[in-house]
A and B are shown apart, each in its own frame.
Chain A
Amino acid sequence: MSDHDPINDLSRFGDDFSTGTGGDMPLSAAAVRRRGDQIRRRRTALVAGASALAVAAVAVPIFAIAGGNPKADNHDDIADDKANSQSLSAEDLLRDADTEYSPNVETPWRTSETFEGDGQALYHPCQKQALSELGATNSFTRTFEFVPQLEPGDVAPPEAPRDRLVEQIAEFRSPAAARSAYDAFAQWVLDCEFPNADRTNVVPDARTVPVPSGTEAVIYDLNWTLEPEAEDPLGESGYINETGLVVQGDRIAVIAVTINGMDYNFLPEEGDTPVYRMIPRAAERLQPGTDQPSAATTTDPPQSNSAVGPAIADDYPLADGWPDADGGEVTLEGPNRTLTPFVLGACGDTLDDMPTPQDQLIAQWSQPEDFRSRQLSTYRNEGEAAAVLDGMVEAYRACPDEEPDQSGFTAHHAVRGADLGDESWMIVTTSTFEGSPAVGLEVLYVVRTGAAVLVITGSNEGGASSDPEGDVTRTAESMVQEARTVIDRLCVFSNDGC
């Protein structure tokens, strides 16, 4: 028998790590909290985080999307491949090299199967009908498996047969039929109840993805847990799925990643999720053959930022009043016309039917625990601007309570009157967890003067203190005080001038 006493060895090991000899803490507690705030903000941010979370579907040249992507060079062959793909074919599916998992890292996805038609099963957990039953005249499916890269000496990890990527593409008789199928698939996801799951959670607000002109794309996030809640109260052992839907003319694509585990945590500021990164490729692949404008010749200008009608002066003081950006962690962007427009709305209403602004200027200021932004939009006339304001307010007024998100947090919106410009409102968003106030406060001011609408956002860690109403008051007063010059200058858009 051994001379070693394993109990003593184990105890000494534990003692050494308890007394601090086990290595330095690589990060400060503040840095860890900032990381936690990023994770929480991703979950709870609605308006204030819109520029990072949900990118408006602004039409941009397709190569502008590919620009800066480290894998873009690997996809220069797409246009060439398309020459051989007039009708929908397997060539229109993603290949291994198109797939994504960790940013800037070789993809672990490897093609498992590729086949034409409906196949023997439904390939999405929420899918209720085969693509042909949705009206598809032709379809193709490719499944990918996750292949970990092992090094000599590594022990093979546990199998995870449910970790997979699936892309389905389909062609329909008309764009209207494709749109109908796209909408039907979205509804299946929203209504999803995973078979045998103890609970299934679907985030009702889809994330939008920037795609070429003529294409629309959204992503739905969902998860399900097979273990009863009593055994896994936080749902940490569940399955995570993100499903991307693309519609382009008479074609659609459905791209779904399903992962079992806790490490599917791709933040927007770190490159965003795998499906988010794959959708532009899938949209490019989905384009019909050479009789269509090629990606290289697509030169549609951005639609929503074109400056006609009541133009905003380039030197409009939109960023005035914010603290100086000379602190190490403060970031100021804008004012400019290239920042992503806000995505406003509540309970799934994203105000897509609003008139397009004639001109728009955006600025944003952020530090790890504080995000502020301003968006100034002008419209054809005062009536149109007033209608936009009404639409914004009504969307929140009609939705005092969002559905709980996948982590169990519920956002609540309250609309209050304000006394700024020609007319204004303050929208306060707080959240609760199991009925108790949760950390995170967002205040949104919408102000109209003449034909201009100014939106001011602010978010911070308030909302769950001993004085939540005081948090709201202090945040709102601070926002107005900071933005006083910006608000006063709105007079240039009124009929009477300043």
Chain B
Amino acid sequence: MEANEFDEFYAASFRRVTGQVYAMIGDFDEATECVQEAFARAWAHRRKLDRAEYPEAWVRTTAYRIAVSRWRRRKRGERSPDRAVGHSGIAPAVDESHVALVAALKRLPEAQRQALVLHHIADLPVQQVAAEVGVPEGTIKARLSRGRVALAALLADETGLAGGGMSHV
């Protein structure tokens, strides 16, 4: 992958992947930084990326793993050493209509949240979600079904959405 190809890939995918990771972890700034870091690693590993069938999936998975790792060990709000390219003063620019949705997603079990995000936000077919998560298709279908019911109930009861942090568990 040459520099101009990477730049096009970054421009085309950054916002989309950031949205997906934001939906999965519930923290827009953290999602932004993790996606940046994942793209940097994608460039560092670009020959591997050339062989990846779905480069965007590689970045998304990497960003999510970075977020999980960072969350496990880092006090929120602290600057970490691998945020060397960290943003400064960016406005989250998250539509208010999405806040309730993300808050509801945060209250779902991780497996259901991940399935919903990959299928309905990343628009991946069930088969690809199953491949990315590493479980059978039937498991994904069950998670989607349960997740949709739970999410609908949570969205209907927005008074129950206050508080909470990232919930990777």
A residues neighboring B (CB under 8 Å): 1-7, 9-14, 16-18, 20-27, 29-40, 43, 101-103, 105-106, 108, 146, 148-151, 153-158, 160, 163, 231, 234, 236-237, 259-263, 265-267, 270-271, 407, 433, 436, 438-439, 464
Contacts and interface: CB of A to CB of B under 8 A. Distances in A.
A30 B4 CA distance: 10
Contacts of A237: 65
A158 B90 contact: no
B75 to A, nearest CB: 4
B139 to A, nearest CB: 16
Given A153-B163, A155-B166, A148 B74 contact: yes
A4 B75 contact: no
A31 B85 CA distance: 7
A35 B41 CA distance: 8
A25 B84 CA distance: 16
A156 B62 CA distance: 22
Contact of B155 (A2, A106, A259, A267): A2
Interface of B: 3, 6-7, 10-11, 14-16, 18-20, 22-23, 28, 32, 36-37, 39-48, 62, 65-66, 68-82, 84-85, 87-88, 90-95, 97-98, 101, 116-117, 120-123, 134, 148, 151-153, 155-157, 163-169
Interface of A is mostly: loop
Nearest to A16: B95
A3 B43 contact: no
A27 B43 CA distance: 14
Contacts of B84: 35, 38, 267, 270
10 contacts: A10-B101, A13-B101, A17-B19, A25-B10, A29-B11, A32-B43, A40-B43, A261-B65, A261-B72, A263-B74
A89 B27 CA distance: 46
Contacts of B90: 23-24, 26
A22 B48 contact: no
A163 B87 contact: no
A20 B15 contact: yes
B118 to A, nearest CB: 10
A231 B134 contact: yes
A11 B62 contact: no
A18 B78 contact: no
A18 B84 CA distance: 26
Contact of B78 (A26, A105, A271): A105
B94 to A, nearest CB: 7
A18 B68 contact: no
A438 B50 CA distance: 12
Given A13-B101, A263-B66, A35 B151 contact: no
A370 to B, nearest CB: 14
A1 B156 contact: yes
Contacts of A261: 65, 68-69, 72-73
A159 to B, nearest CB: 9
B82 A26 contact: no
Given A5-B152, A35-B40, A157-B168, 20 more contacts: A3-B156, A7-B120, A21-B95, A22-B15, A22-B95, A23-B93, A24-B93, A36-B41, A36-B42, A38-B40, A39-B44, A103-B81, A105-B75, A150-B76, A160-B73, A261-B73, A263-B66, A263-B70, A270-B84, A433-B48
